Structure formats: structure tokens, C-alpha cells
Structure 1
């Protein structure tokens, strides 16, 4: 009798600690959201208490096909990859090859920022926490949408990008300093970032389907294709289009160039929750470094969400080493989102519940990804249900409608003035100190523009008003921009500035950071 009671009590205790399945009806809701919004596919991984409770694909890899997304389908994961670059550095810290507060110039000779003092003082830690003084997305046009420059060339160009704030005084998200981190790994180890992350992170973690090189991703027979809504008045409206798989190229890979499957992401989530330990008990990185990577360094502005979205606004948010640390309705979470052209991702850790999940999507719509993220957070934290599946898409539609209204108002009545000069006078070779050369040609009375370091970034210029033109890119996946020519007192063009047309263009289209100057003719 005593033995039976012990067995019964043990069964009850085990039942009380059983792993929680995803919310009831979860699969059906995901499928419905994909159909409602028109997103081709999604892959989701959930882990809890050291076990995988879900690793599954939904929908298709490519619109218009029957190629199903599986748990092994690899997706571009964008800036969620920053945590992998941080982990690669953590491995080197554990090995005594670097320290977080080493000066970058001590490990990467020749590295320079615009300000010589910042060049001397910036540390490896500073590369990862977005407090360098650079503006939001500064320098991203060096690799968005892609580039023919090397990572070393992009890192070299940083010395020409002017800061927006003083060093360590403010938060502004950047990608270019993660490129520096990747170049530093190569300088210290003699291995490229791609090889080091593949051999020292992916392989020990058992993430054998995932890739660090874009070429390997595209060659994989089970990879998701990128999609975006193009053809409408702003990106995000119009028909869903399969994008050219040009990605970001190798230069920017340490900032967001990984491709990972749901099964492999589940392994990464388990390592994170287990403070760097692998299933065999060995350490990918030490618990000390795990804690270091989750340690907040600089506060992010939180703002306030309005109306039905109000519960989604964090009370605090800060950036750590490749992670954002914030709260969700009063509970601490560690998370990071990611986006590349045509694909988005999110990774969320809930340490207090020993739960983590990732969501990967092969389109830019985002509403269903965010709704699913919020639903899972509420579920695993035991919070009251909120109909995020209705609220988030409605919010996104309103945001797009407001942006469209602002754009239509701006373009409704352009001044019927200009251009000031004959078309041929605008043609010439121009250059920005950090981006490089841009060519504008007169093709029989019609101007064309060519971003020569960005293959395929070619189009025509249509007059808008005064001496401002608007780009019409041959590749419709590129964000249109205003191009404004500024004259000197003698009527010669002295500089060109640019600005994205869409009020909600992604910050990586940082046209506004360009200051193009005429290139003097070469001496004969």
C-alpha cells in the first residue's frame, strides 16, 4: 500500500511538471493566419525545461509551389544572428584570446572610426551594443541590398561616417560594427567569420542544416525563398512577389547573414537556456560568458503603444551583447528580431519559465509573426488572453494607411517648377566619402542613376519638383528615393542629397546619410 502511494504521488508530481504543449488550436491558427495575410510559409520552434515541444514548418517555401516548409527548411534569420557573433566572441574570451574590454585597435590593427579619440577608446564590447555614436542604420547602404565590396573594404569605409551623437551617450541600432566584429574574429583566429561560426558554433551545437554562407543557403535543396509585396504605392502593398535571392552578401554576414531551420534553432534555444552547455554536458561557452551576453549595457527608448496595442509596450528595454533585454507585461524576457530582404525572424527567451521559442517567416508582412510571438508570450507566462491575431494586423494596416496618406499628401501637388538646368547638366560622376561612386548619365534627355558598388541598383530619374528627382529602380524590390541637386552661386552642381520616398522605409535604406559631391575629371 505504501509503495502504491509513493508511485501515485510520484505520478502526480510528474504530471504537474509535464511539458506544456503549444496553446490549444495553435496549428490551426497559424495556418489560418498564413492564408489570411497571404504569407507563403513559417517555421516555429519551442523548447521548455530542456526539451523540444514543437519544431514544425507551415505553408510553402516558395509562393505558387507545393514545396512544403519542414522543420529542416532553412530561413534567413537576419539580425537574430548577432547573438551568434557575440557567442563566437565569447568562445574567444573563454580561451583567453580576447577580452570584452580590449581595444579594437589592439586586435584589429588599422581600424578607424571618424573621431580619432573614439578610434583609440572603442572596445570589442562597444562593437556589439549600439552606443558608438553612429546614427541609426548608418552605413547600411554599403550592403543593402547587396554589394561588390569585401568586408574589409566596408570596415575601412567606417572612418568616413560622421557620428550622430557623442561616444557612448545614446543608443542607435547599427549593423556595420558587427561587420567589424566579424573582421576582428578573422584577425584573431586566422579563420573567416563564416568558417569560425560554422566550425566552432554550428557543428558543436549540432546545427548541421544551418549555413553561414549565403551561397550555401541558396544551394540548399530545402531553403525558403524571400517574398515581399511590391507594385503598390509603398513597399508592403501590392501583390506578393518572389524576390531575387541576392540577400546581403558576405560583407554584412556577421550582422545578419545566417540561415537556420526550426530544428536547428531549437538546439540554439536549449543552449541559451542552459547557459552555454551542450546536451553532452560540455560547454559551447561558459556560464560566465552566458551571463555577460545577457547583461544590459544601454537603455532603449520604449515609447508608448496606443489603443489595443498598449499591452505590448515594454516598461523597460535595454541592449546587451547581441540581445535585447526587456519586459513583457511585467516579466523579463530576452529577445531579438531579424529581417533581411524578403524574410523575417524572432527569437525569444523566457528564463523564469525555462521556455524559449523562435518564429521564422519567408515574407516581410510581419503581422502574423508578431501576433504569434505575443500569443506565445502570454501563454507561457500565464497572462490573460489577448486577441493579438486581430489586433496586430489591424495596427499594421492602420500604420500603412497613415504612411500612404502622408505620402499622397506630399506628392499631391508638387510645385510645377524646375528643373533649373538642362538635363545634361545634371549628369556626371559623383561620390560619397563612405559609400563611394554613383554615376548619373544623360540618355537622350532622360537621366539614369547607377550605384556602382551595389550590383543592379540602377534606374531612371523622374523629375518631381524644383531640382529634386525621384528614382524609378529597374529592380522593384529597391526603395525609391528623392534625389536633390544643390547648386552653387554660379549654377554648378555642388552636392546631391537623397531621402527615401516612403515614410516607413526600413532604416537600412539610409539614403539620408549620403552627401554626394562631383568627382573632378581625371587629369590627362
Structure 2
């Protein structure tokens, strides 16, 4: 595609780029100051400019042992993994030995995997690689399953089969709606094409070919020199190790956010991105969908940045910085934060990673450091950020746990047994509610991780969840952000509620009594066939009874 935005990589000269990359004492001072005020235990940095590169490690990888971060320390890159999954599919689509149409991003999933089934007939027959990789399916994204932790017994293939139960939020191909589940689906499609696991494919077809000897995914249990992810509580001034949450919550959504890499390895990856761009990859990074509010969050937080990003390609946000085209993606997963920025006109790429505190505070730190370094190290221009204001642009966010509202209490819930029991969801799992008479509280559990106590809110049948460790250390569960509302109380069922609506930030998921996660283990067609068989058999027996 001669008109490709990314095509200028091949043709452009390096303009206003430093010949030798180095961190000045001032830059190091700004980074260390920011790490202190943003509560970042450790940080990893990789920059590539032309054929030059810079790597650095800052701070502590493990607070318990005081192990320092070096350029070989592994960090999780979170959703930056999505660009790795796109690169893997690029490699597979170019492999002439595989039975696949060469570099066809519009290929229908049904043509790759004949058993693919989506929410409706149109999506089932028409959904393509481009649709799932650019977040334009219009289907809901379900994050609660990740937080809770799926059973280790569930395979990626099985969870992919359950995606047909997703709700439609928007018309197909109508707009951008970020969806981690679609990248799990993309990972499984890669497995079908490559006849191996996604984890094996990224190692053999990408990392090892590039000499990235340390990079892997979180499935690997024998990981050396791994940084520990932490959250931070401003009230207690303490860090919490959340590794136990992180290790189990990727599966089976690993293709959306589980890659681990180091600064040394990342240099090789960034060079691959800017120097070895195939025609197939150029097609992958063309903007596909408009993101109406794609840059609103960053613009509100950083009004000083000359930044815009309202387009999304496949695995990359597309925009401009100081008038130059950028490809960028951030990552945030249970303490780890990351950002990657590519400026193709300048043959420049940068990656920053931290192991805490995660959430908005971690994201702010990543953005601030990345664009400060692009200004000062790459473009050699004065930045609006300095040692004095680096901690006030923007203001620090309160990341402390809240004090319990005296009005809210877990005790004295009227008729507590009307809530108890199991409520199922075909994709997330089974939500269990149990009444503990000795403490007079309603206790709940979901998946491997999520356990806690329900607190009354003053609104009938509505509760907030105080999660137990380690989830209560995650910013997503601070301030009892999880809300539960019970509906459909039935006198015909012992006055028990039949529906549980769980709200997490912007989304609500409905669990139903009498429905179990295990009920959906078989393909729906088989379940329907069984039900139809039973119905037909009953009708036939009735007719036979009438006739004879």
C-alpha cells in the first residue's frame, strides 16, 4: 500500500534525533523524583533511535529481598501484549507453508475455524481478524472473570466457545469498544493456524528468532529475575505484593496481556518494529476505527502535551505527538504498568515498564516519563516537565483504601437466607453467597481469587463488596467498588432472589440462580439438541399414549 501511513518508515531521514542516546543527570533526577512521588518500586526503560539504543533499570524489583532492577529484569507489559499477538498473526499469515490466505486481514474467522460461533448469525458468518483486532465487534467486554480468576481446568478453546453468550452493546462494526476477550479469541485463532499453543508460538516464531532469550509469558512457572508487582496504600504508606493474584488471573486470556520482557530484550523487539516491517505488517497498522474519546483521558490529565490519538489500528492506537505520527499502546495489569510509543518518521521507539503501583497512578507515571524522554532524549527540546513540577503535573491521585462508612454495615441483613445460594454466568463463573450465623454476615466467593463480605448500602437488596486479601489490595477493588443488586424475589422459590446483578465500574453482569457455569461446558448446540430430543420424546410418548 503505497499510501500507507507507516510507509514513511522506509523513506524518511532521521530529523532532530540525537545521534547518541544517553540519559543526562537531569533526566535521571526527574525519573527518580517521579518514581518516588508516584510510588514506583522499580522501572525498566528501552529506547531505540535508528541503529542506536539505550537501556536502563531503576529502583527495586523485589522489596522483600531488596533486589535491584537491571536491564535483564522481567516486567509484565500488560495490554502492550496485543501488539505481540498481532505480530504473531502477521508472521503466520505470511507463512506459505500454512494453509491460509496470504496476509488477508479480512479473512473470516469461520474460514479459519469452522466451529466458530458468535452472538448472532451475522457476526458468526462475517467476523474477521480485522474486526476482533481493532475492537469493532460491538460485543461486551467482561473483566470480572479475570479479576476473579478462571479455574485452571478451563481451556482457552472452551472459554472461546462461550463467547457466543456475550451481549451486543453496539451494532457490528459500528464503533470502537475495547475488548480483551477478542484478543483471547485472536490468540486461539493463531493456535488453529499455527497448530500449537499461543505461548509456544510467540516463543518459537517471534522471541527466539529475535534473540529475545528471556521473554516469555506468565504461564511459565520457571521465570528468573522477575520483578514483583506491588500496589500502594497512601493511608498506611505500605506496598502490597500482588503476585499471587497476577499469576493466576491471566489464564486463559494470556494473548491479551501476559507477556514478560526485559529492557535488553525490548531493544531487539523495538528494532524489529522499526527496521523489519513487512508489507503485511504495514497493512495491520493502518487505522481501522475511530475512537471518539480515544485521547480524552490523557488530554485532561496532561494539557501540556501536544498529543492526539483518536484512531485504532490492530493492536495500536494511532495519533500524533508534536505533529509527528505515533503508534502507541499502554498496559496495566495488577501492579504492572507499561507504555510503548513508536514514531515511524523518526525511526524511534520507546518502552517504559514499572512494577507498581498500577492503576491510574501507574498510567500517569508511564505517560509522563515516556513523553518527557521523547522530548529531552530523542527530540532534544525543552520539556515542560522538570524536577520541580514532575509530581504536580497532574496532581497526585489518592490511592488509599477508604474508611468504612458508618451507615454501611455487613450485619443485621433482613432475611439473609433469601440471598444465599449459587448464581451462575456462562462466561464468568458461579457466584456463591453464604450466610455465616456466628458472625451474622453474608460471605461471597467467585473464581479462584474473589472472596469477601457484603455490606448494606441503605438501598434495599443492594450491597457493596469488601474484598478479602489479596484482591482488596488492587485499585479496582478499593473503596468497595463492586456493587451487588439482587432481583426477582420469588415466593414460589422459598422467597429467594433469582437474579444477581454485579456492577464493576462501567459494566453490569447478570448471574442467575439455577444456572451453573458447568452447564455450558458442552457446545450449546448439544445442549439444545438434548433439550429438543427430550421435548420430542415427550411429545411422541404423549401421542403414542393417545393412539394406543
Match for residue 232 of structure 2 among 229, 232, 249: 229
Q: How far is the alpha carbon of 1:175 from its aligned partner?
A: 0.5
Offset from partner CA, 1:254-286 (integer Å, 9 cap, x none): 00111000000011000111133xxxxxxxxxx
The answer (yes or no) to whether the contact 1:296–1:319 under 8 Å persists in 2 is yes
1:288 equivalent to 2:292? Answer no
Tell me the SS of whatever aligns to 2:147: coil
* Aligned 1:11-90 pairs, distance under 5 A: 18-23=19-24, 25-52=26-53, 54-90=54-90
Q: Which residue pairs with 2:172 in the alignment?
A: 167
Q: Which residue pairs with 1:385 in the alignment?
A: 383
Unaligned 5+ runs, structure 2: 1-15, 520-548
Q: How far is the alpha carbon of 1:426 from its aligned partner?
A: 1.0
Q: Which residue pairs with 1:446 in the alignment?
A: 441
1:142 equivalent to 2:145? Answer yes
Q: Which residue pairs with 2:527 in the alignment?
A: none
Q: How far is the alpha carbon of 1:516 from its aligned partner?
A: 1.3
Note the aligned Cα RMSD (angstroms): 3.0
More moved, 203-212 vs 60-69: 60-69
Tell me the SS of whatever aligns to 2:486: strand
TM-score by length of structure 2 reads 0.79
The answer (yes or no) to whether the contact 2:118–2:124 under 8 Å persists in 1 is yes
Match for residue 425 of structure 1 among 407, 418, 426: 418
More moved, 487-496 vs 93-102: 487-496
Change beyond 3 A, Cα 1:459–1:105:
same
1:435 equivalent to 2:428? Answer yes
1:110 equivalent to 2:115? Answer yes
Change beyond 3 A, Cα 1:161–1:224:
same
Give the Cα–Cα distance (whole angstroms) in 2 for the partners of residues 78 and 483 of structure 1: 28
Give the Cα–Cα distance (whole angstroms) in 2 for the partners of residues 416 and 437 of structure 1: 22
Match for residue 200 of structure 2 among 183, 195, 211: 195
TM-score by length of structure 1 reads 0.83
Q: How far is the alpha carbon of 1:29 from its aligned partner?
A: 2.5
Offset from partner CA, 1:129-188 (integer Å, 9 cap, x none): 0111023xx122222353213212221221111011001111111110111111111112
Q: Which residue pairs with 1:467 in the alignment?
A: 461
Tell me the SS of whatever aligns to 1:111: coil
Tell me the SS of whatever aligns to 1:172: coil
Q: How far is the alpha carbon of 1:483 from its aligned partner?
A: 1.1
Match for residue 477 of structure 1 among 473, 476, 499: 473
Give the Cα–Cα distance (whole angstroms) in 2 for the partners of residues 412 and 340 of structure 1: 32
Change beyond 3 A, Cα 1:436–1:307:
closer
Match for residue 128 of structure 1 among 133, 138, 141: 133
Q: How far is the alpha carbon of 1:360 from its aligned partner?
A: 0.8
Q: How far is the alpha carbon of 1:393 from its aligned partner?
A: 4.0
Q: How far is the alpha carbon of 1:120 from its aligned partner?
A: 0.9
The answer (yes or no) to whether the contact 2:46–2:56 under 8 Å persists in 1 is yes
Change beyond 3 A, Cα 1:23–1:182:
same
1:100 equivalent to 2:89? Answer no
Tell me the SS of whatever aligns to 2:69: coil
Q: Which residue pairs with 1:3 in the alignment?
A: none
Change beyond 3 A, Cα 1:268–1:305:
closer
The answer (yes or no) to whether the contact 2:410–2:441 under 8 Å persists in 1 is no
Give the Cα–Cα distance (whole angstroms) in 1 for the partners of residues 172 and 120 of structure 2: 9
1:325 equivalent to 2:322? Answer no
* Aligned 1:170-319 pairs, distance under 5 A: 170-216=175-221, 219-230=222-233, 239-247=238-246, 248-276=249-277, 287-300=278-291, 301=293, 302-303=295-296, 309-312=302-305, 314-319=307-312
The answer (yes or no) to whether the contact 2:245–2:449 under 8 Å persists in 1 is no
The answer (yes or no) to whether the contact 2:60–2:66 under 8 Å persists in 1 is yes
The answer (yes or no) to whether the contact 1:275–1:291 under 8 Å persists in 2 is no
Q: Which residue pairs with 2:354 in the alignment?
A: 361
Unaligned 5+ runs, structure 1: 1-14, 277-286
The answer (yes or no) to whether the contact 1:305–1:311 under 8 Å persists in 2 is no
The answer (yes or no) to whether the contact 2:74–2:225 under 8 Å persists in 1 is yes
